[in-house]
Amino acid sequence: NEDVFKKVISHAKEFGFVFPSSEIYDGLSATYDYAQNGVELKNNIKQYWWMAMVQMHENIVGLDAAIFMHPTTWKASGHVDAFNDPLIDNKDSKKRYRADVLVEDHMAKIEAKIQKDVDKGKKRFGDDFDEEQFRATNPNVLRRVAEMDKIREELKRVQEEEDLPGFKALIEDLGIVCPVSGSKNWTEVRQFNLMFGTELGSVAGDAATIYLRPETAQGIFVNYLNVQKTGRMKLPFGIAQIGKAFRNEIVARQFIFRMREFEQMEMQYFIKPGTQMKWYEYWKEERMKWHKALGLGDDNYRFHDHIKLAHYADAAADIEFKYPFGFKELEGIHSRTDFDLGGHEKESGKKLRYFDPETNASYVPYVLETSIGLDRMFLAVLSASFKEEQLEDGSERVVLNIPPALAPVKAAVLPLVKKDGLPEKAREIIDTLKFDHNCQYEEKDSIGKRYRRQDAIGTPYCITVDHQTLEDNTVTIRERDSMEQERVAIADLERIIGDRVSM
C-alpha cells in the first residue's frame, strides 16, 4: 500500500493537483501548493462542507477571522504553556524525533510480533483455530501484551507528569534505536512549542511576539458574543470557519497529511453547560453521516475515542480514514467545555456570558467542536478515488472516480475532429454550460487519449461533438466510471449535467 501511496503522490503532481512548494529551489519541507485541478477540488470540498454546516443549519453562521490575533489569545487558550511536543535528537545521525512517536512505533513492532504469533497459530491449527482462545492462553502473546501494557502505562505517566528525564529513561530502557543510524545515543527530551512566532512591526522583544494561529477555533471564540448579539442567536448555535492554520510539526511527513501550513474547517457549537454529552454524541453521528454520504466507502471510516485528552477537552473522538498508510485522524470532535471562553474571560477581564432569556440567567456557554483538516480530506478523496483498471480489451487506464459533486472539471467538451465546424459547435456548448459548471475544451490527440486524460483528472462526463451533431443537434455523453455512452439532445445537456453533478 505504500506503493499505492507513491503512485497517488506522483499522479497528483503529473495531473496538476499538488506540487511541492517552490520546487525550483528544491521545495520546502512539508509545504505544498495546490495546482489547477487541486484548487478546484479543494474549493469544492470547502463548498460541500460549508453547505452542510452553514447553509443547511438555520442556527449555524460563518466567520472569517484574521490569522494574526492578539498574543494574549494564545495565553488564554493554553497554547503558550501546553501546545508542546516532546522532542529528542539522536546524537549520531543528528535526526530529530517526537519522543512519544518513537515509543508508539516501538509498541507497533511488538503488536506486529503478536500478530505473527497469531498467524503461526492459525497455520498450525487450521480450521480449528480459535483466535480469542489463543490470545488468552498463548504464553508468548500474554508476555508481549503484558509488556505493552507496562510501556503504555509508563508513557502515559511521563506525559501527564511531564517527566522529561523519565521519558528519556523509557526510551533507553526499551533499547529504542535511531531508525536512520541505528544508534542509541540520545539527547535529553525537551518540550517544543508548535506555534510559529513572529514580530509585529518594528518592535523587538517578548511583548511584540505574535503567533501564526495554530488553529482557527480561537478566532471564533473571541468573536462569539459579537456574533451572538448582532445575529440575535439563541443557544444552541454554531459558528463555522474555514482557514489556514500553522504548526511547527517536528516530523512532518506523509505528503499533505501532516504539513506545517494547512487548512482547517472548524465549527464551534455553543451550548448550555451540562448538555455537552448529548451534543457530543449528536455531532459525532452527524459528522460520520456527512463523510459516508460522500460515497468513498463506509469501511474507510472508524471512530477512535481518545483516552489521553488534549488540554482543553472533557471528551474527544477522532473520525479516522483508511489512508494508503493505514487508519489515521481525519477529523476531531471535541467537547471543549468552557475552557476557552473561561480563559478569555479571565485574561481579557471582559464578561463573555450569554444571557439566557428562558431562565433569565447569565452563564459562559460550553462548546462542542468539529474540526476537520481540509488537506486531509483532500488526501482522503484523492487516495480513495485513485484506481488502476484493466479493461476488457486488455488495455489499462488510471481513473479518479471522485464524487461528481467534488470533481475539478464537471464536463469536457470534445470535437471528434479539428475541422468541419465541430470545434465551433463544441465551443457553443461550453458557452451554455460554463455559467454553472467548470468545463474544459480539448481538441488535441485522438478521442481515446482525450478520454484517458479526463479519466485521470476525474472528469465525470465527456461530451463528444461529431458529424451527426451538425445534422440533428445531438451529442454523446460518456460517463467516466462505466465508460458507457448515450446520445442526447444538446438542448437537454444543461439539465442532465446539472442533475448529475450537483451537491
Question: Is 84 annotated in some ligand binding site?
Answer: no
Annotation-wise, does 232 bind a ligand? no
CB of 310 to ligand ATP, least distance (A): 7
Peptide bond into 236 cis (omega under 30): yes
Minimum distance from residue 373 beta carbon to ligand ATP (Å): 2
Which lies closer to ligand ATP via its Cβ, residue 11 or residue 258? 258
Closest distance to ligand ATP from the beta carbon of 269 (Å): 15
Closest approach of Cβ 213 to ligand ATP, in Å? 12
Least gap, CB of 160 to ligand ATP (angstroms): 17
Q: Which is nearer to ligand ATP, 283 or 451 (CB)?
A: 283
| Residues 312 and 163 sit within 8 Å (Cβ to Cβ) | no
Would the annotation count 330 as a binding residue?
yes
Q: How far is the CB of 331 from ligand ATP (least distance, A)?
A: 5
276 is in an annotated binding site: no
Report helix, strand or coil for 66.
coil
User: Judged by CB, which is closer to ligand ATP: 44, or 440?
Assistant: 44
- CA–CA distance, 356 with 377 (Å, rounded to integer): 37
Q: At what angle do helices 422-433 and 490-501 cross, to 10 degrees?
A: 50
Any binding-site annotation on 341? Answer: no
Which residues, including other chains, have CB under 8 Å from residue 503's CB and lie 6 or more apart? 47, 48, 51, 405
Beta carbons of 86 and 191 less than 8 angstroms apart: yes
Query: What is the contact surface with ligand ATP in residues (CB under 6 A)?
Result: 247, 249, 258-259, 262, 264, 329-332, 371-373, 375-376
What is the nearest approach in angstroms of ligand ATP to the Cβ of residue 252? 7
Residue closest to 377 by CA, chosen among 223, 185, 242? 242
User: Strands 411-415, 396-400: parallel, antiparallel or unpaired by DSSP?
Assistant: unpaired
CB 478 within 8 A of CB 464: yes
The answer to whether 370 is a known ligand-binding residue is yes
- Would you say 365 or 373 has its CB closer to ligand ATP? 373
SS3 331: strand
Q: How many residues can be counted in the chain?
A: 503
d(CA 435, CA 69): 38
The residue assigned the cell 470535437 is 415
Distances (CA, A) of 304 to 243, 297, 308, 330, 475: 25, 18, 12, 11, 49
143 is in an annotated binding site: no
Does 265 carry a binding-site annotation? yes
> Which of 193/264 has CB closer to ligand ATP?
264
Q: How far is the CB of 62 from ligand ATP (least distance, A)?
A: 18
Which CB, 32 or 186, lies closer to ligand ATP?
A: 32
Question: How many angstroms separate the CA atoms of 319 and 147, rounded?
Answer: 28
> Residues near 137 by Cβ (< 8 Å), separated by ≥ 6?
none
CA-based nearest residue to 94, from 193, 187, 194: 187
Residue pair 465/416 in contact (Cβ under 8 Å)? The answer is yes
Q: What is the DSSP letter of 444?
A: S
* Shortest distance in whole angstroms from residue 304 CB to ligand ATP: 10
- Is 389 annotated in a binding site? The answer is no
Q: Is 93 annotated as a binding residue?
A: no
Q: 52 or 411, CB closer to ligand ATP?
A: 52
Quick one: 247 or 410, whose CB is closer to ligand ATP?
A: 247
The edge-to-edge listing of strands for the beta sheet with 485-489 is 439-441, 411-415, 461-465, 474-479, 485-489
Q: Would the annotation count 213 as a binding residue? A: no
261 is in an annotated binding site: yes
Relative to beta strand 474-479, strand 326-337 is unpaired
We find the least distance from the C-beta atom of residue 216 to ligand ATP, in angstroms, to be 9
260 annotated as a binding-site residue:
yes
Q: Closer to ligand ATP at the Cβ: 280 or 451?
A: 280
Q: Give the separation between CA 239 and CA 54, rounded to whole angstroms.
A: 8
When the beta carbons of 266 and 455 are compared against ligand ATP, the nearer one is 266
Which residue type does 415 have? Answer: P
- Closest approach, Cβ 251 to ligand ATP, in A, equals 10
> Which residue is closest to ligand ATP by CB?
373
Residue 371 marked ligand-binding: yes
The rounded distance, in Å, linking the Cα atoms of 37 and 395 is 26
Cell triple for 77:
487558550
The C-alpha cell 456574533 sits at: 227
Taking the least distance from each CB to ligand ATP, the nearer of 17 and 354 is 17
Which residues carry a binding-site annotation for ATP? Answer: 247-249, 257-262, 329-330, 373-376
Which residues carry a binding-site annotation for substrate? Answer: 98, 215, 262-266, 369-373
Which residues carry a binding-site annotation? Answer: 98, 215, 247-249, 257-266, 329-330, 369-376
